[in-house]
Amino acid sequence: MSNFNYPLNFLFKISTFHNDFTIKDSEDRTLFYVRQKLFKLKDEIMIFSDESRSEQQYGIKADRWLDFNANYTFTDTRTTETIGKVGRKGMRSIWKANYNALDIDGLEDYTIKEDNGWVKVGDSFLGEIPILNILTGYVFNPSYTMYDKEGNKILQLKKKPSFGRKFTLDKLADINPKDETRLILCFMMMILLERERG
């Protein structure tokens, strides 16, 4: 799938035990329904075409157990082919989130960087104060930018003021159509990991 109508909206469900979210385009059409399997030692994500979950399009699996440096492999479930990976940059991600996007040959071709580490600090600090902690989702809204190998900004994911439920993905430059779905999968996995971190 390519030629997405941006911005894309990520909306997390709050009425489920699963870490589910829907991705819709600018015309409010559902593109993906993302479900994270719970109680797995290795993260496993299923991406469906819609909320009916009748057609799985992609799968994402971690390459190791509960590891800060795990890589996550993307598979096209219709062809069973691997289409790429994303991995967190270990120690660099303690202050600001850093992820590598890898192509089918395992070569890094894009990176995702959190734009401002202080947002996370402010969110953690305010989150410890009774009553005020309910405001963190409206006051602190992180953003994450994807860069190509030349340092050009390609995509940017921003949290919208909400209780951690809404994110918007904007396209900042032209993207090679053969990479586009893989790069959106990178953001799917990244946002699940970042929400787990708080």
Q: Quick check: 97 and 112 in contact, CB under 8 A?
A: yes
Residue 48: its pLDDT value, please?
A: 97
Each residue of 118-176: pLDDT tens digit?
456 545 544 455 554 455 545 567 899 999 999 999 999 998 876 658 899 999 999 99
Q: How confident is the model at residue 69 (pLDDT cuts 50, 70, 90)?
A: confident
Residue 9: its pLDDT value, please?
A: 97
Flag whether pLDDT at 56 surpasses 80: yes
Residue 37: its pLDDT value, please?
A: 81
Rounded Cα gap, residues 4 and 72, in angstroms:
23
Residue 128: its pLDDT value, please?
A: 53
Share of the chain above pLDDT 90, in %: 58
Rounded Cα gap, residues 111 and 155, in angstroms:
10
pTM score: 0.85
Which among 171, 17, 179, 32 has a CA at the least distance from the CA of 108? 179
Q: How confident is the model at residue 89 (pLDDT cuts 50, 70, 90)?
A: confident
In angstroms, how far is the first alpha carbon of the chain from the final one? Answer: 31
Rounded Cα gap, residues 187 and 121, in angstroms:
21
Q: How confident is the model at residue 96 (pLDDT cuts 50, 70, 90)?
A: confident
Residue 38: its pLDDT value, please?
A: 76
Flag whether pLDDT at 92 surpasses 60: no
- CA angle in degrees (0–180, nearest 5) for 106-107-110: 120
Q: What is the DSSP letter of 196?
A: H
Residue 95: its pLDDT value, please?
A: 60
Mean pLDDT of 179-188: 96
Beta strand ranges found along the chain (DSSP E) = 8-12, 21-24, 30-36, 44-48, 56-62, 71-76, 81-88, 98-102, 108-114, 143-148, 153-159, 166-171
Q: Quick check: 176 and 146 in contact, CB under 8 A?
A: no
Q: How confident is the model at residue 3 (pLDDT cuts 50, 70, 90)?
A: confident
Backbone angles phi, psi at 52, to 5 degrees: -70, -20
Mean pLDDT of 168-192: 95
DSSP, collapsed to helix, strand or coil, labels residue 19 as: coil
